[in-house]
Amino acid sequence: MLMPMVVELSPRQIVIYEKIAEELSANGFEVEPMGPRSFAIQSMPAGIISSDAEKLLTEILDGIESENAAISIETLQAKIAASTACHAAIKVNMPLDQTKMEWLLGALAKTDCPMSCPHGRPVVLRYSVKEIERAFHRI
């Protein structure tokens, strides 16, 4: 990031941050303490826009139970990766050219779970011709 983003974290988020700071750093986050509750986000994983930095960090911190001190490294990595992937994803109404659409569908087909995002939301929906006709009041 060109200019660090200073964010205020809750006491609960600070406790979780201290537990997972090393893994956040390994995944492209550079976050530095600035005061009792203030933290400066210096950098984010590739593909994340600056305006999403605070939202992504707090989503990760809020998604981890503070009581769960025994969280596995694999689970933690999966949670960070899932949140990062969704924030870097192509959004609704984002214009795409034909080449990008074809690449995207090809890459989607190669994934282990092409029907949903890492959080389980559907990526592809299937409608029968009858359902489409009904939606347009044709039957």
Whether residues 79 and 95 fall in one domain: no
Based on the fold, state whether residues 41 and 102 are members of the same structural domain.
no
Q: In Å, how far are 51, 68, 93, 98, 107 from 113, measured between CA atoms?
A: 28, 27, 23, 23, 11
How many domains are there within the chain?
2
What pLDDT does residue 137 have? Answer: 92
3-state secondary structure of 47: coil
User: What pLDDT was estimated at residue 70?
Assistant: 59
Residues 20 and 62 in one domain: yes
Q: How many residues does the chain have?
A: 139
CATH number, residue 72: 3.30.1370.100
Same domain, 67 and 134: no
How far apart, in whole angstroms, are the C-alpha atoms of residue 104 and residue 113? Answer: 14
Q: Which residue range(s) make up the domain with 106? A: 91-139
Looking at residue 68, its pLDDT comes to 53
Check which CATH number belongs to the domain holding 139 and give it: 3.30.1540.20
The answer to whether residues 37 and 61 touch, using CB atoms and an 8 Å cutoff, is no
Residue 115: both structure tokens together? 């029907």
Considering the domain architecture, whether residues 74 and 102 belong to the same structural domain is answered as no
**pTM for the full predicted model:** 0.61
Q: Could you tell me if 11 and 71 lie in one domain?
A: yes
- Asked if 77 and 134 sit in the same domain, the reply is no
Per-residue pLDDT of the chain (139 residues; tens, 9 = 90+): 778 999 999 999 999 899 889 989 988 899 999 989 999 999 988 878 888 889 889 988 888 875 555 567 777 778 888 788 777 777 778 888 999 889 888 988 898 888 887 778 888 889 999 999 999 998 8
Asked if 43 and 63 sit in the same domain, the reply is yes
Please indicate, yes or no, whether residues 51 and 30 belong to a single structural domain of this protein.
yes
Both 69 and 17 in one domain: the answer is: yes
